């Protein structure tokens, strides 16, 4: 009998299942979003330890707030972003970062609107990376964040240069599809 | 930043090229995603009572758990209520752990932090799990974690339970019931 592959549940479907107390759905969502939430917390807090605590609180908030998700009002990814961002902000208020020395001069803080846009963009990209198959993800990571050339990636992964190029194109195309779909 | 032309070559359809270049720009702007926390949190919707913490403290003392008496200590703005030492069992004699339990948070959970040593990943490399026990049985999952190749881990965990319903903690490998670490009774 042929194996039928079930379509992957959307984020929104997982949130609805979590609202019903489905622990497996929560684990699935955690796998998809752990990096994105931690990345958001790191951008906001800067410190890994505080960011991990904030990430934990964000997932607690997601679990507790799942019943408030209304699929007719927007996609799951956007709802998750809002809940996580609010939880991280609340955590920041409860445990403000230690006060350091004040530095005179022009403010170094980014414009809030720009910061919000870049955080949202990074959130979507980090979430989209989770859709890449295991053989494509390393070529992206090595090219973009390790600074390796295509030839160096081929050496590192011990695959032909042509395969690196094929996988890179395929991965970028897959990411484009995921981002075009605005992370259902 | 990688050169986009080097990545995709020059033989792409212009529309496809523009589509991929947009992704390229987003990747560069986003930066690398962080490694995720090792913990997957379990939750229950039931609310806990603050008084339960006193009950478990008493129960732990009666059971001669090694309580570090760190009351008044603080971490990340939280007060530490007590610290429980865990020892390796015959299945992991070199292992040890310290479980710091913080005050009940506003969401009704007891945040915890666990320091583990001497617990190298097993051959299957499955995560480890921290459980509350009752009458010698695994009763409530407090979270899972992985250790590095040196056998250490420092992980945040969460106990959304009433402690007075349980009588100890154990660590097992996921999918097994053999304690590797246990509170000493």
Tell if the CB–CB gap between B43 and A26 is shorter than 8 Å: yes
Q: Kindly state whether residue A110 falls inside one of the protein's structural domains.
A: no
Residues A123, A150, single domain; the answer is: no
Which tops the pLDDT comparison, B122 or A138?
A138
Residues A148, A122, single domain; the answer is: no
The CATH code of the domain that includes A77 is 1.10.1740.10
Residues A3, A92, single domain; the answer is: yes
The 10 Å Cβ neighbour count of residue A3 is 4
Tell if the CB–CB gap between A23 and B107 is shorter than 8 Å: no
How many residue pairs bridge chain A and chain B with CB atoms within 8 Å of each other? 110
Residues A148, A121, single domain; the answer is: no
Pair type for strands B168-173 and B78-88: unpaired
Residue keyed to tokens 């969401």: B107
Average pLDDT, chain A: 79
Q: Kindly state whether residue A182 falls inside one of the protein's structural domains.
A: yes
Residue B134 and residue B162 in contact, taking contact as beta carbons nearer than 8 Å: no
Q: Does B39 touch chain A (CB under 8 A)?
A: yes
Tell if the CB–CB gap between B111 and A56 is shorter than 8 Å: yes
Residues 149 through 178 of chain A touching chain B, CB cutoff 8 Å: 149-150, 165, 168-169, 172-173, 175-176
Q: What does the alpha-carbon distance between residue A83 and residue A104 come to, in Å, rounded to a whole number?
A: 35
pLDDT of B24 reads 93
Residue keyed to tokens 């009774």: B185
Contacts of B137 (CB under 8 A, 6+ apart): none
Residues 16 through 75 of chain A touching chain B, CB cutoff 8 Å: 21, 23, 26-27, 30, 34-36, 38-39, 42, 48-53, 55-57, 59-61, 63-64
HSE of B30, CA atoms in CB hemisphere, 13 A:
26
Residues A165, A78, single domain; the answer is: no
Q: Kindly state whether residue A105 falls inside one of the protein's structural domains.
A: no
Q: Kindly state whether residue A106 falls inside one of the protein's structural domains.
A: no
Mutate to test the interface with A, among B18, B76, B114, B174 (most CBs of A within 10 A): B76
Residues A1, A24, single domain; the answer is: yes
Q: What is the pTM of this model?
A: 0.50
Among B19, B178, B68, B105, smallest CA distance to A53 is for B105
Residues A121, A138, single domain; the answer is: no
The 10 Å Cβ neighbour count of residue A105 is 5
Total structural domains within chain A: 2
Residues A75, A2, single domain; the answer is: yes
Q: Kindly state whether residue A102 falls inside one of the protein's structural domains.
A: no
Q: Kindly state whether residue A108 falls inside one of the protein's structural domains.
A: no
Residue B2 and residue A143 in contact, taking contact as beta carbons nearer than 8 Å: yes
Among A130, A138, A145, A183, smallest CA distance to A164 is for A138
HSE of B126, CA atoms in CB hemisphere, 13 A:
9
The CATH code of the domain that includes A140 is 1.10.10.10
The 10 Å Cβ neighbour count of residue B6 is 14
Q: Does A81 touch chain B (CB under 8 A)?
A: no
Instruction: Report residue A112's pLDDT band, with 50, 70 and 90 as the boundaries.
Output: low
Residues A120, A67, single domain; the answer is: yes
Residues A126, A37, single domain; the answer is: yes
Closest alpha carbon within chain B to A50: B76
Residues A146, A63, single domain; the answer is: no
Q: Does B15 touch chain A (CB under 8 A)?
A: no
pLDDT of B49 reads 35
Per-residue pLDDT of B25-80, as tens digits, reads 999 988 888 876 554 444 433 333 333 333 333 333 333 232 232 333 444 567 88
Pair type for strands B137-145 and B128-134: antiparallel
Instruction: Report residue A95's pLDDT band, with 50, 70 and 90 as the boundaries.
Output: low
Q: Kindly state whether residue A22 falls inside one of the protein's structural domains.
A: yes
Q: Which domain holds residue A14?
A: 1-97+116-130
- Picking from A39, A53, A125, the nearest residue to B156 by CB comes out as A53
Does the interface predicted TM-score (ipTM) exceed 0.90?
Answer: no
Per-residue pLDDT of A9-64, as tens digits, reads 888 899 998 888 888 888 888 888 888 888 888 888 877 878 888 888 888 888 88
pLDDT of A183 reads 38
pLDDT of A168 reads 93
Pair type for strands B168-173 and B74-75: unpaired
Assigned token pair, A69: 């998700």
Q: Kindly state whether residue A31 falls inside one of the protein's structural domains.
A: yes
Residues A84, A40, single domain; the answer is: yes
């Amino acid at each position: 009998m042929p194996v039928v592959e079930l379509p992957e549940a959307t984020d929104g479907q997982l949130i609805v299942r979590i609202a019903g107390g489905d622990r497996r759905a929560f684990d699935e969502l955690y796998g998809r979003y752990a990096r994105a939430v931690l990345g958001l917390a790191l951008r906001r807090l800067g410190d890994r330890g505080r960011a991990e605590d904030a990430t934990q609180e964000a997932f607690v908030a997601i679990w507790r707030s799942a019943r408030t998700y209304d699929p007719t009002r927007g996609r799951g990814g956007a709802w998750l972003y809002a809940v996580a961002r609010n939880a991280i902000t609340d955590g920041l208020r409860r445990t403000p970062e230690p006060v350091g020395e004040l530095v005179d001069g022009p403010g170094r803080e980014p414009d809030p609107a720009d910061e919000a846009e870049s955080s949202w963009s990074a959130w979507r990209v980090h979430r989209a990376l989770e859709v890449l198959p295991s053989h494509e993800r390393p070529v992206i990571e090595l090219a973009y964040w390790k600074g390796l050339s295509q030839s160096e990636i081929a050496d590192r992964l011990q695959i032909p240069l042509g395969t690196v190029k094929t996988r890179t194109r395929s991965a970028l195309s897959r990411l484009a599809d995921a981002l075009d779909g605005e992370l259902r | 930043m990688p050169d986009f032309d080097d990545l995709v070559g020059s033989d792409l359809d212009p529309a496809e090229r523009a589509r991929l270049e947009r992704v390229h720009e987003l990747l560069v702007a986003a930066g690398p995603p962080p490694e995720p926390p090792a913990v997957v949190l379990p939750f229950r919707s039931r609310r806990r009572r603050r008084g339960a913490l006193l009950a478990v403290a008493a129960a732990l003392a009666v059971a001669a758990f090694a309580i570090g008496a760190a009351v008044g200590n603080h971490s990340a703005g939280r007060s530490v209520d007590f610290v429980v030492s865990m020892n390796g069992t015959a299945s992991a004699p070199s292992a040890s752990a310290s479980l710091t339990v913080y005050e009940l948070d506003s969401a009704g959970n007891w945040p915890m932090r666990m320091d583990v040593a001497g617990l190298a990943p097993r051959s299957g490399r499955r995560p480890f799990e921290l459980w509350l026990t009752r009458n010698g049985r695994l009763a409530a999952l407090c979270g899972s974690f992985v250790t590095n190749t040196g056998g250490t881990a420092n992980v945040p965990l969460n106990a959304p339970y009433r402690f007075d319903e349980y009588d100890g903690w154990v660590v097992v490998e996921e999918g097994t019931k053999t304690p590797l670490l246990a509170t000493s009774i």
